[in-house]
Amino acid sequence: MDTKDLEERLGYQFSNKKLLEQALTHSSMTTDIHRNYERLEFLGDRILGVTIADMLCNTFKNEPEGALAQRFVCLVCKDMVAEIMKGLGVSDFIKTVNPSVKYKATVLCDVGEALIAAIYLDSGAIETAQDFVKRHWTAHIDKKSRPKKDYKTMLQEKTAAKKLPAPLYRMLKKTGPEHEPVFSVQVTVGDKFEAVGSSGTIRHAEQDAAEKMLIEMGVIDG
């Protein structure tokens, strides 16, 4: 497997190519724990966590622990790691029996964490792995780590306060390829209000629908 292009995207050249190959190998290819990425993922998850925590403490010096914790969760979550790996084109290099699996957020996240560990083990310096994290996460640390508003809870509270029926959510359809689906969800409040939201997950589609409902009800600005 020629990984030169991937190494350029990662910004790191491996001395031990077997470590890189291991970080890219799904357990469906081999159950040998020294040849698939599962152990590397375990280690990389810890390196990612401590690096992000350090970055947050240095960036937001006056924020309380609760706010830092919310930002931390956003930056180390499956969707964030997967988004960064997708942007680096890592999917093209993942080795798995089922090709569609390599596009799943869970797998991309696992591989991302495994790559962090592989860089650490290959370089022999945790600082090198942390530099990799800083290089690819810094752009997300402010905007993407802001705690997202819970529009579903807000809608629930507003309808209760106005003595309206509780919001009801219903999935309308699922479109797009299996590895990148789009869900459309409808929310209704009695027979007076209705809105439709869409996103890559049902949970986020519900949030989108709730936000649009709140706009329709005049609770928030569009």
Sign of CA dihedral 74, 78, 81, 83: negative
* Domain end residue (candidates: 89, 105, 140): 140
* Domain end residue (candidates: 120, 140, 160): 140
Is-catalytic flag, 54? no
In whole angstroms, give the CA distance from residue 135 to residue 4: 19
* Domain end residue (candidates: 106, 140, 174): 140
* CATH number of 59's domain: 1.10.1520.10
Domain extent at residue 195? 151-216
Is-catalytic flag, 45? yes
What's the mean pLDDT in 97-107? 91
> Does one domain contain both 172 and 94?
no
* Domain annotation covers residue 118: yes
> Does one domain contain both 101 and 158?
no
In whole angstroms, give the CA distance from residue 127 to residue 165: 55
- Could you tell me which residues come within 8 angstroms of residue 12 by beta carbon, excluding any fewer than 6 positions away? 119, 123, 128, 132
* CATH number of 155's domain: 3.30.160.20
Q: What is the pLDDT of residues 131-156, one digit of tens each?
A: 999 999 999 987 656 656 688 988 99
What's the mean pLDDT in 97-123? 95
* Domain annotation covers residue 222: no
Global pTM? 0.71
Of the residues 110, 113, 122, 208, only one is catalytic, namely 113
> Does one domain contain both 93 and 196?
no
> Does one domain contain both 11 and 86?
yes
Of 148-162, 182-196, 198-212, least confident by mean pLDDT is: 148-162
| Count: domains in the chain | 2
> Does one domain contain both 131 and 163?
no
pLDDT score, position 63: 87
Strand order in the sheet with 168-175: 168-175, 182-189, 193-199
> Does one domain contain both 75 and 96?
yes
Of the residues 5, 8, 32, 45, only one is catalytic, namely 45
> Does one domain contain both 109 and 176?
no
Whether pLDDT at 181 is above 90: no
What's the whole-number average pLDDT of the chain?
92
Of 2-16, 30-44, 78-92, 171-185, least confident by mean pLDDT is: 171-185
> Does one domain contain both 20 and 126?
yes
* Domain annotation covers residue 12: yes
Whether pLDDT at 102 is above 70: yes
Q: Tokens 């309380």 appear where?
A: 64
